[in-house]
Structure 1
Amino acid sequence: MTDEQKPSNPAIRDPHAPSNLVRDFEPLDIPVPPVPTRPSSLSDVADVEHTDTMDLTAAMAAATTPSSVRPAGYPSSRGGSRAARRSRAARAAAAGVSSLTDEDPLADRPRISSRVLCVVFGLLLIAAAFGVWWLGVHTEAGQSFDDMAEVSFPGAVPGWLGGLLALGTHLVVVIGSALLAVAAAAVVAVRRRWWLAGQLVAFGVLCFASTLLKPLLPRPFIIHTEIVDGSSAPSGHVTLAVACSIALLLAVSRGWRWVAALVGMAWSAFVGLSVIYGQWHRPSDAAMATLLVGGIALIVLAFTRTSGMDATGSRRSSAGVQIVSSVSLTASVMAVLYGAYVVWQIVPGLTMSAKWAQTSSVAASSILVVAAVVLVFGLTLMMRQITAAPLTRLGLVGAPPAPPKRRRTPSDHAS
Structure 2
Amino acid sequence: MPAVLSDSPIRLRPARSTWAWALAMVVAVALVAVVFRVFVTTQSGQLTEYLSLEAASHRLQALQGSSLTVLNRLPQIVGVAGVVVFLVLTVYRRRWLASLVAALAFGAANLTTQVLKNWVLVRPDLENGVPYYTGNSLPSGHTTFAAAAVVAVFLMVAPRWRPLTATVGALFATAVGAATFIETWHRPADMVAAYLVAAFWGLAAGYVILRTGADWNTRGRRSRRYPHPGGHPGWDGALWAAGAALSLGAWGAFEAGGGTAALTSDPEWFSGWHFLTGLLMATGPGLLVFAALSAFFRWQTGRR
Letter of the 2:151 counterpart: I
Q: For structure 1, which segment, 232-241 or 350-359, has the greater mean C-alpha deviation from structure 2 after superposition?
A: 350-359
Q: 1:148 aligns with which of 40, 45, 51?
A: 51
The answer (yes or no) to whether the contact 1:199–1:300 under 8 Å persists in 2 is yes
- What's the offset of the Cα at 1:143? 1.1
Matching of residue 259 in structure 1 with residue 164 in structure 2: yes
The answer (yes or no) to whether the contact 1:343–1:364 under 8 Å persists in 2 is yes
Q: 2:240 aligns with which of 312, 329, 332?
A: 329
The answer (yes or no) to whether the contact 1:184–1:247 under 8 Å persists in 2 is yes
- Equivalent residue for 1:176? 78
- What's the offset of the Cα at 1:252? 1.9
Matching of residue 282 in structure 1 with residue 187 in structure 2: yes
Residues 231 and 142 of structure 1: is their aligned pair in 2 closer, same or farther, counting only changes over 3 Å?
same
- What's the offset of the Cα at 1:241? 0.5
Alignment of 1:14-413 (within 5 A): 49=1, 98=7, 101=9, 104=10, 106=12, 109-112=14-17, 115-156=18-59, 164=67, 166-169=69-72, 171-211=73-113, 212-216=115-119, 217-222=121-126, 223-226=128-131, 228-303=133-208, 304-307=210-213, 310=216, 316-317=223-224, 318=227, 320-321=230-231, 322-343=233-254, 345-351=258-264, 353-355=266-268, 358-388=271-301, 390-392=302-304
3-state DSSP class of the match of 2:70?
coil
Calculate the TM-score normalised by the size of structure 2.
Answer: 0.83
Residues in 2 aligned to 1:166 and 1:138: alpha-carbon distance in whole angstroms: 34
The answer (yes or no) to whether the contact 2:166–2:290 under 8 Å persists in 1 is yes
Question: Which string of whole-angstrom CA distances, capped at 9 and with x for unpartnered residues, describes residues 123-145 of structure 1?
Answer: 22322122112222111111111
3-state DSSP class of the match of 1:305?
helix
- What's the offset of the Cα at 1:152? 1.1
- Equivalent residue for 1:403? none
Residues in 1 aligned to 2:26 and 2:253: alpha-carbon distance in whole angstroms: 27
Higher helix share: 2
Letter of the 1:225 counterpart: V
Residues in 2 aligned to 1:313 and 1:280: alpha-carbon distance in whole angstroms: 43
Residues in 1 aligned to 2:184 and 2:55: alpha-carbon distance in whole angstroms: 10
Residues 270 and 134 of structure 1: is their aligned pair in 2 closer, same or farther, counting only changes over 3 Å?
same
Higher relative contact order (CA 8 A, sep 6+): 2
Letter of the 1:282 counterpart: R
Q: How many residues align?
A: 293
Residues in 2 aligned to 1:165 and 1:294: alpha-carbon distance in whole angstroms: 29
Identity %: 22
Question: Which has the greater radius of gyration?
Answer: 1
- What's the offset of the Cα at 1:233? 1.2
- What's the offset of the Cα at 1:264? 1.3
Residues in 2 aligned to 1:183 and 1:308: alpha-carbon distance in whole angstroms: 23
Residues 381 and 261 of structure 1: is their aligned pair in 2 closer, same or farther, counting only changes over 3 Å?
same
- What's the offset of the Cα at 1:354? 3.1
The answer (yes or no) to whether the contact 1:291–1:372 under 8 Å persists in 2 is no
Residues in 2 aligned to 1:219 and 1:201: alpha-carbon distance in whole angstroms: 30
